[in-house]
Structure 1
Amino acid sequence: MQMYRPLVKLLFRLLWFLPLTAPQAAEEIVFDNFSKRINLVKQDAHYRVAATGHRVSLSRRVIVKTAASVAKAEVLAFHPKVSAVTELFVGRAFRYYALTLGSEEQLPGVLKALRRLQLEGRVDIELVQPDILQLKSKSEADISGSGKSSYFSLLAIDALWQKTKGKGVRIAVIDDGFNLDHEDLQHIRPIFSYDSETRSLNASAQALTDNHGTKVAGIIFAAHDGLGIKGIAPEADLIALRQPDTWTSNTLLSFQLAKLAGADVINCSWHSQWLLQPIVEIVNELAYNGRDGKGIAVVFAAGNQGREITTGSNEASIEQALVVGANGEDFRPLSFSNYGPTVDLFTYGVGAQSTLVTGQYGTFSGTSLASAIVSGLSALLIAEQPGITLTQLARRLTLITTNNKGYPQLDGENRARKQ
């Protein structure tokens, strides 16, 4: 044993100089969402929502809500690590800004400091969140062999065409991009186009996988020219907004651009995996104050997981949105369609022919199809009656999409809560 004493002494000396530290806890981001504390735990290159397990990505941006009177220069002074401020959305009583930091590593400290300033009331901050990227679900079901497009007769769209084909109504479509060189979409001259990913005034699809927006555009806008298909509102104006991701900042900006471009209807044939407070607040703002107080129809797809939409689960749970499920030719909800108290109406989702990004035609189905149909119908009804309110529009849509059967679970109940 004596021969090992020098080695033992050396080991003790080395250990003496090693720092005595507890195991490092995983880096955590803390913020509020609907007055609930949210903890994001660092996990490799991503973060995990501690309570739900959702995986998200963060950036060096912070989302801040202020009173409407707070200017960019004031926001820039909120913290010395803020290098730039971008205005994202302006409501009647509030504004949303994106604050850019020097690096993502500064995010935890800046969030903590801004939350402290908010709680102390030292600056006019109403909400602080990181800019979050989460998964986006396009609400198209896989129904092979369908594509009859029988919704024209089922919904008596021909009768509406005797009065209008949507002229003068502006429909914003927020999606993954558009091929407006398609033979059935070449007549479209967007009144505004923007790509939130490239920050350019061009909403063209960037890859063959960017197929969803072109399908939505075909259902709503396809020309009545004897070629392939017919759109529901071919004379309506398109506001083309390419947003292939769910960064909170990009979503807020897309809705702001739709509002500034004068949208009467905003089509969102998708939903994310987790509902964030800023999205709810801007949808409510548009529904209450858009169209000079008559309300912009913000149309969301219910989703195709065949489950009940729970409170705060995703955009389909927003009460002030027009949330659309899918039904069949018998006007009964389809088994794959999500459902719940926030679903305002169900309409045809079995399958229809639409335009593809490749320039060809293919099948489109699910609640994505159903919400595109409702957006087109909304344009026809607004063109026919420009003074129609969002509440009145929802009631007329319910009558049309239930074939005047007035199923009690769909008729009036949800919209009455949204007035």
Structure 2
Amino acid sequence: MKRATLFSFTLLVISSVIFWILNDDLHMRERDNNEKFSKEVNIDKNEQTEFTWSYEYLNVQEIHDTMQVFGEGISIAILDTGIDTTHKDLHVKGGVNIISDQQSYDDDNGHGTHLAGIIAAQPNGQGIKGIAPKADIYSVKVLKNDQTGSYEGIAKGIDWAIDNEIDIVLMSFGGSKDHPVLRKAIKKAYSKNITLIASTGNNALSNNSITYPAKYKEVIAVGALAENGQRWVGSNTGEEITVMAPGQKIKSTYNDGDYIVSSGTSLASAHVAGGLSLLLNSNPKLTNKDLKEILKQSALDKTSEGDPIFNLKELLTFGKTYTNM
């Protein structure tokens, strides 16, 4: 399996697209060719739980115990606000700050750190434990602390993942329009056998449509499940959905060594990123096309609306010996 090698270079970010959080809704406004986006998360700092229900729902501990796969040797680039490099539950392999080459790729918002814990929090007897604790996570900071970024910056983050031979790229943000710069980067990464994962969006109650980059055919589009195994109320729906994964009331790491519980399609896509790293660990010959197909075929159950439900145990069982004839 590929291993990431870091490169340093100077980047210029042109602010033509803006990303930001406003509760769990995606708000879009056209002005001076600017489009506003949201990262797909709804934070509730007051609600805390000892364990995340999704861990049991996906049979993560059973899989670790019986299949002995932990994501070892698999690299995951989290394109987001950065990752808290000092959090005791996280080991960040490396990364890059696309926003400013003069600053670190540490997280000054918390969203990227929240995703990192779901994927790869360390089994240290404290806090939480990630789905793939031995995966190599990389912080690709494409969003500022006020959640602003650009299509060009995101494309450069994807290019960094290509240059560093990253296996999986996680993108938990979305917008309404297809942009040529983003589309070109997505297609290039896919041609290099990088698995691309994105959240579908959280504005189902106001403007229910799958957002970009999840809408691209090269990308695995992930919606969010509620604790009852049905679609979380805010999760966008559409024919582009690949799979639905846990996304409601998920406890994970946060800045300053903290933990929070939050809901959103970002968290759902992080579960899938962790699960696919386990699969690549068990069957390194699989391509990005294979992974998407296995996700679909291993989803034995569907929501009441007909969307496939992520089944980690079946994914690994079916995918371990999968061959694309």
TM (normalized to structure 2)?
A: 0.76
Which residue of the partner structure matches residue 89 of structure 2?
184
Q: Distance in 2 between matches of 1:146 and 1:226?
A: 18
From the superposition, tell whether residues 142 and 360 of structure 1 become closer, same or farther in structure 2 (CA, over 3 Å): closer
Structure 1's unaligned 5+ residue stretches are 1-39, 41-51, 58-132, 413-419
1: CA distance, partners of 2:223 / 2:48: 18
3-state DSSP class of the match of 1:197?
coil
Distance 1:397 1:331, change over 3 A: farther
8 Å contact from structure 2 (residues 48, 260) kept in 1: no
Q: How does 1:317-332 map to 2 (within 5 A)?
A: 317-332=215-230
Q: 1:160: Cα distance to partner?
A: 3.0
Distance 1:246 1:56 in 2: 16
Tell me whether 1:276 sits opposite 2:208 in the alignment.
Answer: no
Equivalence for 1:194: 96
Q: Letter of the aligned partner of 1:365 in structure 2?
A: S
- For residues 297 and 217 of structure 1, the distance between their equivalents in structure 2, rounded to whole angstroms, comes to 17
Contact kept? 1:398, 1:410, Cα under 8 Å = no
What's 1:335 paired with? 233
2:57 is equivalent to residue 154 of structure 1: yes
State the 1:396 CA deviation.
3.2
2:276 pairs, out of 366, 378, 394, with: 378
Report if the CA contact (8 A) 1:246-1:272 is conserved. no
Residues 201 and 383 (structure 1 numbering): CA distance in 2 closer, same or farther, change over 3 Å? farther
Given the alignment of the two structures, is residue 405 of structure 1 paired with residue 301 of structure 2, yes or no? yes
Q: Which amino acid aligns with 2:161?
A: A
Question: C-alpha deviations, 1:183-226, integer Å up to 9, x for none?
Answer: 111xx241x32111111473112x3xx11011111111110010
Aligned mates of 2:229, 2:297 — CA distance in 1: 12
**3-state secondary structure, aligned to 1:368:** helix
Flag the 1:396–1:153 CA change in 2: closer, same or farther, 3 A: farther
> Which residue of the other structure, out of 103, 106, 120, is the alignment partner of 1:204?
106
Tell me: CA distance 1:319–1:409, structure 2 relative to 1, closer, same or farther (3 Å): farther
Contact (CA 8 Å) 1:268, 1:301: kept in 2 or not?
yes
- Residue identity opposite 1:193 in structure 2: G
The whole-number CA distance in structure 1 between the counterparts of 2:63 and 2:294 is: 12
Separation in 1, partners of 2:102, 2:188:
26
From the superposition, tell whether residues 411 and 211 of structure 1 become closer, same or farther in structure 2 (CA, over 3 Å).
closer
Q: 1:235 is matched with which residue: 126, 134, 150?
A: 134
Q: Is 1:222 the equivalent of 2:121? A: yes
Q: Partners of 1:160 and 1:378 in 2: how far apart? A: 13
Match of 2:22 in 1: none
The answer to whether 1:309 aligns with 2:285 is no
- The one-letter amino acid paired with 2:104 is N
Highest RCO, 1 vs 2 (Cα 8 Å, sep ≥ 6): 2
SS in 2 for 1:319: coil
Matched positions, count:
272
Listed one character per residue, the Cα deviations across residues 233-261 of structure 1 (whole Å, up to 9, x for unaligned) are 11111221111133232111110101111
In 2, the alpha carbon distance for the partners of 1:195 and 1:392 equals: 31
Partners of 1:355 and 1:386 in 2: how far apart?
28
Question: How far apart are the structure 2 equivalents of 1:222 and 1:264?
Answer: 18
Which secondary structure does the structure 2 equivalent of 1:213 belong to?
helix
Q: How much does 1:303 deviate?
A: 1.0
Counterpart CA distance in 2 for 1:350 and 1:339 is 16
**Alpha-carbon distance between aligned partners in 1 of 2:99 and 2:77, rounded to the nearest angstrom:** 17
CA distance in 1, matches of 2:104, 2:290: 34
Greater shift in the superposed pair: 245-254 or 351-360: 245-254
Query: CA separation in 2, counterparts of 1:218 and 1:278?
Result: 30
**Mapped contact 1:146–1:352 kept (Cα < 8 A):** no
Q: Is 1:140 the counterpart of 2:41 in the alignment?
A: yes
Match of 1:350 in 2: 248
1:396 aligns with 2:294: yes
1:399–1:149: structure 2 CA closer, same or farther, 3 Å change rule? farther
**In structure 2, what is the equivalent of residue 164 of structure 1?**
69
Q: Which has the larger radius of gyration?
A: 1
Query: Is the Cα–Cα contact under 8 Å of residues 326 and 366 in structure 1 kept in the other structure?
Result: yes
How far apart, CA to CA, are the structure 1 residues paired with 2:95 and 2:52? Answer: 28
Q: Which moved more, 1:156-165 or 1:233-242?
A: 156-165
1:297 is displaced (CA, Å) by 1.6
For residues 189 and 137 of structure 1, the distance between their equivalents in structure 2, rounded to whole angstroms, comes to 25
Structure 2 gaps, min length 5: 1-15, 17-27, 310-325
Deviation at 1:142, TM superposition (A): 4.7
Per-residue CA deviations over 1:95-148 (Å, capped at 9, x if unaligned) read xxxxxxxxxxxxxxxxxxxxxxxxxxxxxxxxxxxxxx6433110135674755
**Matched residue SS, 2:255:** coil
- Where does 1:106-117 land on structure 2 (aligned, <5 Å)? none
SS in 2 for 1:174: strand
Shift of 1:411: 4.8
Shift, 1:153, TM fit: 1.9
